[in-house]
Amino acid sequence: MGIIVAKFGGTSLADSYQFEKVKRIIESDPDRKYVVPSAPGKRFDSDNKVTDLLYLCKTHIEHNVPFDQVFQVICDRYISIAFNLKLSIDLQPHFNEIKAKIINGASKDYIASRGEYLNGLLLAEYLGYTFVDAKDVILFDSKGRFLEEETDDALGNVLLKCEKAVIPGFYGAMPDGSIRTFSRGGSDITGALVAKALKADVYENWTDVSGFLMADPRIVKNPLPIKVITYKELRELSYMGASVLHEDAVFPVRQANIPINIKNTNEPDNPGTVIVSNLEKQDEHVITGIAGKKDFTVIAIYKNRMNSEIGFMRKLLSILEDYNISIEHLPSGIDTLSAVISNNSINGKLEDVLDEIDKRLKPDTVDVLSDMALIATVGYGMSQRRGVAAKLFTALSEAGVNIRMIDQGSSEINIITGVENNDFEKAIMAIYNAFVNE
């Protein structure tokens, strides 16, 4: 018998019908002994997530607006689930306590965490599992910083005494008992921490999609699924927006060499995507996936004999740091250096930054390329095959896409191309067709 830690997202636990699906999934494999639930998500497009409604309660209080109506909507969601599943739990004392604490100025973290807490109570009774409150096993210090080793010990000590348990996601507690949450989507992190502490065989992350696809289905029609992907490849694709799980959820299980399986609650027989440390053999495709983002600005600096000027790059970085601007990429040549920056980061600061660059770096020329998009073509197979870059650039050329920037990491598992925003979709389709529909 092994151990599977199964985390279920908000859409997987949005109502009693979804709860029934989750129970069937859990009971189909006796190794699914530890379950991490999110708060109820949307049941339909115009619905609200419970976490959003809880944040709304806090906003109402801050503006001296009655929150009773919003709070009742939240209560009704849980009451409906409990009633339809014929659960015996009395939720009213929990509702009374939460409402009283909101009135008395409870923190935003406490209020937001109650969505997972209440869902955990319901799921634990429905499954017949032990309920373990995350505040007792997910630990933060007095400044709100996550305590990795202490959490690992606490989880192991408590959960190994439970044959089967439900641990709410998203939150933990500081030494004084006050609730502290991870960032939104943090239930993924909780699941990963539980898997690491228990040395689980697999960390299953159940959501409303069947893993990762090789490209955005809004751009490429019916893209192929990614069956297996490495953590490094996932990191590259996630950075470019291909996100299914919380980024920080990768690190605990990666450290412990535990595979993650992204699966679909509504299609439980679909194998989904497995995330592993290393691939023993390459997939049939040279690339693993394509992802990208729009709206970047490139500041391209040229200065004769730049390579012999000590500290040139440091000066550029310090200018951007002074203006609190982060850099996405920094491709360079002998006499050229380009800073690729998100438009959101440089918005309203561009002219001041250019003046400072002119004053402190004294470049020969500075060109600004705006409305740029970045596309990452990712895959371990790329580093072992000749002609990959040539094939990519030929595909873009034949599609009439003008490449404005090229950047390849030293790992050789990705090639990033910069194109104009209006060529973004065309470029992704061209790359996909060249490598997948060849």
User: Alpha carbon of 307 to those of 166, 337, 349, 360, 405: distances in Å?
Assistant: 58, 10, 27, 16, 20
Output the CA–CA distances (angstroms, integers) from residue 21 to 52, 206, 272, in the order listed: 24, 11, 17
* 141 assigned to some structural domain: yes
Over the range 133-148, which residues count as b (16 or more CB within 10 Å of their CB) and which as e? bbbebbbbeeeeebbe
Full pLDDT tens readout for the chain, 438 residues: 799 999 999 999 999 999 999 999 999 999 999 999 999 999 999 999 999 999 999 999 999 999 999 999 999 999 999 999 999 999 999 999 999 999 999 999 999 999 999 999 999 999 999 999 999 999 999 999 999 999 999 999 999 999 999 999 999 999 999 999 998 888 999 999 999 999 999 999 999 989 899 999 999 999 999 999 988 888 888 777 666 677 778 889 988 999 999 999 999 999 999 999 887 656 567 899 999 999 999 999 999 999 899 999 999 999 999 999 999 888 888 999 999 999 999 988 999 999 999 999 999 999 999 899 999 999 887 877 788 889 999 999 999 999 988 887 666 788 999 999 999 999 999 999 999 976
Q: Do 52 and 151 sit in the same domain of this protein?
A: yes
- Final residue belonging to a domain, choices 208, 227, 260: 208
Same domain, 24 and 161: yes
Shared domain check, 324 and 201: no
Whether residues 177 and 309 share a domain: the answer is: no
User: In the sheet that 405-408 helps form, which strands lie side by side, from edge to edge?
Assistant: 336-342, 289-302, 365-378, 414-420, 405-408
Phi first, then psi, for residue 4 (nearest 5°) are: -115, 125
pTM metric for this prediction: 0.85
Contact 198, 160 (CB under 8 A): yes
Identify the pLDDT of residue 281. Answer: 59
**CA–CA dist 331, 357 (Å, integer):** 17
- Examine residue 260 and state whether it is found in any structural domain, yes or no: no
CA 52 from centroid of its chain's CA atoms: 18
Element containing residue 149 per DSSP (H, E): helix 148-159
Note whether residue 344 is domain-resident: yes
Residue 263 lies in a domain: no
Show the domain range for 399: 289-435
Residue 221 lies in a domain: no
The answer to whether residue 196 sits within a structural domain is yes
**φ, ψ for residue 30, nearest 5 deg:** -65, -15
Structure-token pair, residue 293 = 């983002």
Domain end marker among 166, 181, 208: 208
- Our separate counts of H helices and E strands in the chain read 14, 15
Q: Concatenated DSSP letters for 219-264?
A: TSSSPPB-SEEEHHHHHHHHHTT--SS-GGGHHHHHHTT--EEEEE
Q: Tell me: do 195 and 299 sit in the same domain.
A: no
Among 208, 225, 247, residue at a domain's last position? 208
pLDDT at 165: 98
Q: Are residues 185 and 294 in the same domain?
A: no
Q: Is residue 252 part of a domain?
A: no
Specify the CATH number for the domain of residue 65: 3.40.1160.10
pLDDT on residue 148: 95
User: Looking at residue 368, which CATH number applies to its domain?
Assistant: 3.30.2130.10
Domain count, the chain: 2
Same domain? For 98 and 202 the reply is yes
- The rounded distance, in Å, linking the Cα atoms of 273 and 267 is 13
Residue 222 lies in a domain: no
